[in-house]
A and B are shown apart, each in its own frame.
Chain A
Amino acid sequence: QSALTQPASVSGSPGQSITISCTGTSSDVGSYNLVSWYQQHPGKAPKLMIYEGSKRPSGVSNRFSGSKSGNTASLTISGLQAEDEADYYCCSYAGSHVVFGGGTKLTVL
């Protein structure tokens, strides 16, 4: 079981859009539309931002969106705001277990 692959860091200016990729395999991301995304600010617990690949929980801004193509899921944040600066993790169901991505640090310039 290997971690999903995410870029270590991405950055963008306020108002811009960024996309974070999450690459897995045909055994996890590619086989199920069950990717979730979590935002984590320093010293805080992760917070659910996207589930089932593209659905937003109540209370999460519609600036956050998710998609999937093949073995790669993506999280897009539009209209970047300073408060979006955080670590982001993808997570996928993989049959009998669960696998997380290595995390991506988003810097808002």
Chain B
Amino acid sequence: QLQLQESGPGLVKPSETLSLTCTVSGGSISSSSYYWGWIRQPPGKGLEWIGSIYYSGSTYYNPSLKSRVTISVDTSKNQFSLKLSSVTAADTAVYYCARYIVRRGRWFDPWGQGTLVTVSS
């Protein structure tokens, strides 16, 4: 059974870079049928797609965040990572990683449990 687990600092200072890693277990990240995505959810608000990456390194990002986001993949560790630069309080959110199925349709499943990142000095 595929599982995803987010990890990284729970507190980041304003103007610094938020860094998170998603570790995939129970399956290979190097599958042609999937992308791997990051989604966030500010407290009490809705879901926002951040971006997705293929095992080859091909990426696509939310246009509203593109200038600050970098998503990378490490197939040797079965992990992919998120970096969000120049963070402000508006970036405080629960950050989820998820598998994005692309073989026939487009959907996220499964999701990690999420990790809360607070931006504060």
Contacts and interface: CB of A to CB of B under 8 A. Distances in A.
Interface string B58-71: 00111110000000
Contacts, number: 66
Interface stretch (A13-21, A76-84, A91-99): A91-99
Interface in B91-119: 96, 100-101, 104-114
A5 to B, nearest CB: 11
B105 A34 contact: yes
Classify chain B: how many residues form its interface, as a range: 20 to 34
Given A3-B46, A102-B46, A103-B46, A97 B107 contact: no
B49 A98 contact: yes
Contact of B109 (A48, A89, A97): A48
Nearest to A102: B46
Contacts of A55: 105
A45 B60 contact: no
B111 A52 contact: no
A97 B39 CA distance: 12
Contacts of B106: 32, 34, 36, 93, 98
A57 interface: yes
Contacts of B108: 36, 38, 46, 48, 91
Contacts of A51: 101, 105, 107, 109
Contact of A45 (B48, B63, B107, B113): B113
B47 interface: yes
A14 B66 CA distance: 44
A97 B62 contact: yes
Interface string A19-41: 00000000000001010101000
16 contacts: A36-B107, A45-B112, A46-B111, A48-B108, A48-B109, A89-B47, A91-B47, A91-B49, A91-B107, A91-B108, A97-B49, A99-B49, A100-B39, A100-B49, A101-B46, A103-B46
Interface of A: 1, 3, 32, 34, 36, 38, 45-48, 51-52, 55, 57, 89, 91, 93, 96-103
